[in-house]
Structure 1
Amino acid sequence: MAIGLAIALSSMAGLVAASNFLVQYPINDWLTWGALTYPLAFLVNDLTNRAYGPAKARQVVYVGFALAVVLSIYLATPRIAMASGCAFLVAQLLDTYIFDKLRNTVWWKAPLLGSVVASFVDTLLFFTLAFAGAGLPLVTLIAGDFAVKVVLALLFLIPFRAMMPLTRPASMPSA
Structure 2
Amino acid sequence: MQTNNTSDPTAPNPAACFLQRCLRSGMLTQKSLDVKLLELQHNTADITHPKCLAERYKFLQLMNSHLEKIVQEKMMLKQRLVKPVHRQCLPVEANCHKHVSELPSRMIQVIEDLSPNLQLIKSIPLLSQKVRIMEDLMKMMASEILKLKEVMEFIVKWREQQKNMNLEYLDRKD
Per the normalisation by structure 2, the TM-score is: 0.17
**Highest RCO, 1 vs 2 (Cα 8 Å, sep ≥ 6):** 1
Per the normalisation by structure 1, the TM-score is: 0.16
